[in-house]
Amino acid sequence: MEGDELVEYTEIMVRYGELSTKGHNKKNFIDRLGANVRKALHRFEQVKVHAQRDRLHVELNGANYDQVMNRLKDVFGIQNFSPSIRVDKTFAATAAAAVKMVQEQVDHPITFKINTRRSDHKFPIDTFEMNDRLGGYLLQKFPDLLKVDVHHPDLTIRVEIRLNGIFLSSETIQGAGGLPVGTAGKGMMMLSGGIDSPVAAYLGMKRGVSMEMVHFFSPPYTSPQALAKAKQLTAKLARYSGSIRFIQVPFAEIQETVKEKVPEGYLMTVQRRMMLRLAAALTMKRHGLAIFNGESLGQVASQTMESMLVINDVTNLPVLRPVLSFDKTEIIALAKQIDTYDLSILPYEDCCTVFTPPSPKTKPNLERTRKYEQRLDIDGLIKRALDGIKITEIHNGEDFLNQNEDVFAELL
């Protein structure tokens, strides 16, 4: 086919997901989704985003529609979208565009139907007449290729008659679903370098939570690569929200002190209580509503219900665990889907693994845990860790691992 015959899409029409059921909150959802789409498309300077009550319209103004659609696929709150072409408000222009669409998409006999919506009721052709006339015109043009089937067509050509033109589309691409990030408030994600926590962060974001990552690092016991890996995982997740704040919390002093003063079987329990205290303090300080983590029930010693009971004892904040009921194989499948798996399995020790005792208690006793903790200056340890935090804003596509290529070369 000649290059000049290709359909030049002029906008992408976006349909909302669940937010269309949200009553008076609907406006906040639409505004937030509009802001998130603008953020996701900020590289395309010519693109204009109009978030309206029933649809969101992305005006391309010459931007590459494949690239724009790839970015839209990662924005939560979008049910699906269709690339559309805008033509003048005449039957002739509409018919000519529909012919191009068929030429571009159809190379063997198929069934089709026309589906018209008319929001400009002054336009002289109503929906039935447009369906009828345009369908008839295309049948006449392509007698060997097209046959009408209004119930289960292979191709649906949608015609929207709006005030500013007639828009035609024929493809519907699935979006990410979920709720727009930021509509459910802010959460603090306890991000290790493992497989589970990035997946849990993704699932929380999919329910509208704006996540900040809390990562504990323990130099000299953990390497700079372990920190770079956690930042790289955050950069992968940032494509769902534009950018994410990464909070690194120094944890070495706490780990050394706990190792020195607490019996081995309770090291893990007390360490995790300290992590949770720090995450809770950051949640309060940064106006979050809940703590998130990647715990999956019964997967390791600290993830039994007895263990959760004892660890959770240090905070009244909700601790939400999106992958709680997933099997490891299900978590791995999701990690691969969101492209965090290969990073997660890089062998850099994080502080969860450095100080792990050979046989941690799977059923720690709460009273005993509290008693061992009395040996620690908890307030002082927490204060010093919080004084040493460092916050970075991480954007989608940033690279943290390859900055240290020479460091890696030495490891190989």
Give the Cβ contact number of residue 247 at 10 Å: 20
Binding-site residue positions for ATP: 190-191, 215-216, 272, 294, 303
Give the Cβ contact number of residue 138 at 10 Å: 23
- Residue 115 structure tokens: 């589906």
Tell which phi-psi region holds residue 165, choosing left (phi > 0), alpha (psi between -120 and 50) or beta: left
Binding-site residue positions: 190-191, 215-216, 272, 294, 303
Residues 6+ apart with CB under 8 A from 282: 188, 212, 214, 247, 249, 288, 386, 389
Question: Please, what is the angle between helix 65-72 and helix 26-40, to 10°?
Answer: 130
Distance CA 255, CA 271 (A): 7
CB 88 within 8 A of CB 165: yes
Nearest to 272 by CA among 292, 255, 253, 252: 255
- Residue 49 structure tokens: 């985003």
CB 175 within 8 A of CB 200: no
Q: Nearest 5 degrees, angle CA 397-CA 334-CA 306?
A: 115
CB 289 within 8 A of CB 295: no
- Residue in the structure block whose two tokens are 């509009």: 34
